[in-house]
């Protein structure tokens, strides 16, 4: 629009209708019709650089909006990449923690069996149970981390909750 303001403008107007000199004769069209066609041409010759400045300002504002859009898009892309990496990492951690819990449970069963045979004392059984509980606690923490990463991914992708 700022560029268009610097260009010449052409104005056209016209009128067709009855002509009368008295208000009481307005309904009568028998006197004939009058028509008028006119026009004008407007060329901005000197405005002290106002129109050129307005055009430059509009271009600069447009470039600023493009840069802002690009920055926003790059930030959104970065947030999605980070959220995806967090989801992948939490999935790997979850799988490893599930394997650790399975191994701790197996070790606990073997320790209990060795205790029943009289090969070890009960402190080893208590220690194996503690390790199993620690592994289960870490698994729950890892599941929480994974769910938070999934929620963050949905959020950065534009998801919302009502």
Contact 18, 26 (CB under 8 A): yes
Global pTM reads: 0.58
Report if residue 49 sits inside a domain.
no
Q: Are residues 79 and 148 in the same domain?
A: yes
How far, in Å, CA of 153 to CA of 155, rounded?
5
Q: What is the mean pLDDT of the chain?
A: 84
Report if residue 132 sits inside a domain.
yes
Give the domain extent around 29: 4-42
- Average pLDDT on 126-137 reads 97
Q: Are residues 37 and 88 in the same domain?
A: no
pLDDT tens for 142-162 read 999 999 999 999 999 888 665
Residues in CB range of 32: below 8 A, 6 or more apart:
18, 19
Q: What's residue 159's pLDDT?
A: 80
Report if residue 117 sits inside a domain.
yes
- How many Cβ atoms sit within 10 Å of the Cβ of residue 30? 7
Residues in CB range of 120: below 8 A, 6 or more apart:
111, 114
Report if residue 47 sits inside a domain.
no
pLDDT tens for 21-71 read 666 655 555 556 666 667 676 666 666 677 777 778 888 989 999 999 999
Six token digits for residue 97: 């923690």
20 pLDDT higher than 70: no
- Average pLDDT on 8-18 reads 69
Total domains present in the chain = 2
Tokens 């994974």 belong to which residue? Answer: 146
Report if residue 63 sits inside a domain.
no
Report if residue 122 sits inside a domain.
yes
Report long-range pairs for 107-110 (Cβ below 8 Å, ≥24 apart). 107/131, 107/132, 108/132
* Angle at the Cα of 43 from the Cα atoms of 40 and 49, rounded to 5 degrees: 150
Q: What SS3 state is found at 20? A: coil
Q: Are residues 88 and 138 in the same domain?
A: yes
| H-helix or E-strand spanning residue 35 | strand 33-42
Q: Are residues 13 and 85 in the same domain?
A: no
Report if residue 10 sits inside a domain.
yes
């Amino acid at each position: 629009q700022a560029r268009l303001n610097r260009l010449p403008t052409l104005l056209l107007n016209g009128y067709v209708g009855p002509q009368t000199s008295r208000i009481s004769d307005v309904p009568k069209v028998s006197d004939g019709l009058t028509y008028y066609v006119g026009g004008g041409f407007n060329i901005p010759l000197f405005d002290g650089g106002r129109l050129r400045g307005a055009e430059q300002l509009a271009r600069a504002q447009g470039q600023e909006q493009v840069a802002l859009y690009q920055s926003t898009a790059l930030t959104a892309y970065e947030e999605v990449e980070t959220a995806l990496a967090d989801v992948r990492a939490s999935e790997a951690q979850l799988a490893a923690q599930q394997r650790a819990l399975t191994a701790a449970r197996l070790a606990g069963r073997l320790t209990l069996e060795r205790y029943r045979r009289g090969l070890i004392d009960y402190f080893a059984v208590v220690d194996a149970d503690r390790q199993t509980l620690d592994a289960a606690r870490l698994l729950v923490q890892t599941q929480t981390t994974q769910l938070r990463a999934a929620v963050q991914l949905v959020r950065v992708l534009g998801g919302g909750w009502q």
